[in-house]
Structure 1
Amino acid sequence: MSIVIEQPVEARLVAAAPRMPSIPATLHYDRRDPFAVRMTFPAPATLEGVEVCWTFSRELLAAGLKNAEGHGDVRVRPYGYDRTVLEFHAPEGTAVVHVRSGEVRRFLEATSELVPVGLEHLQLDLDHDLAELMRDAC
């Protein structure tokens, strides 16, 4: 069984202009980091011309399907019937994207099949991680 899930999604960038261009993005989940998801935007879709990756909690993404969630760099909220808004706040500015809620739900279902919600801690190898930290400290 794979330990990584990657799902392409169509993101619509909300800009000052009335047109909302579609940009490719990818949602990632790795059971070695069971509490986190990543959303990656390819270089052509970013102002800097480099791939941009945001990491945030799987719990935030799931909760944001139903209610406005998040107070930090990443915020998620429902929008209309089948859209979810993700806001990414950085010193350079804020990016706001819309994705289909159905795509987010499918992604979260796949992550739950890989690592059920509430059992993430079973994926962690704290002894190994502590040994690595201690090895590097010497």
Structure 2
Amino acid sequence: MAKLLGAVVIGAVPSAATERAAREAGADHIIRYGKDDVVEQVRRLAGGVGVGVVYDGVGRATFEASLASLRPRGLLVLFGQLSGPVPPFDPQRLTIFRPPPSPRRRSYPPKSPTASPSPSVRMIAGVSTGFCGGPR
């Protein structure tokens, strides 16, 4: 679905078998977690800033890397627990992903009212309208 909306898809997989499946599903880039440094590779592919959204169906084994791969204001969607549930964590940890404060900016600048919707918002809209093969 993300590919239909023009997203670059980075797949993180544990093995060669799942790498083949991810490529057949349309992933543009593949990272082998447990072998490659996921965060380093994602940030390299995303121009050093991280990605806008991570969909993580693995859970415990990939949670930290998924969280660290996000850009500021990024969205992490946990939809599975293949490797086990993510243990509770202190939500204050999320503040480390904010840009450093400057004398003029104490928080994120507001989004422009004319800014286009994020890829995740466009994908959700596409699924809900049936554009991406979701329920009609």
TM-score of Structure 1 vs Structure 2, range by shorter chain = under 0.3
**Structure number with higher helix proportion:** 2
| TM-score, reference length from structure 1 | 0.24
* TM-score, length-scaled by structure 2: 0.24
Task: Identify, as 1 or 2, the structure richer in strand.
Answer: 1
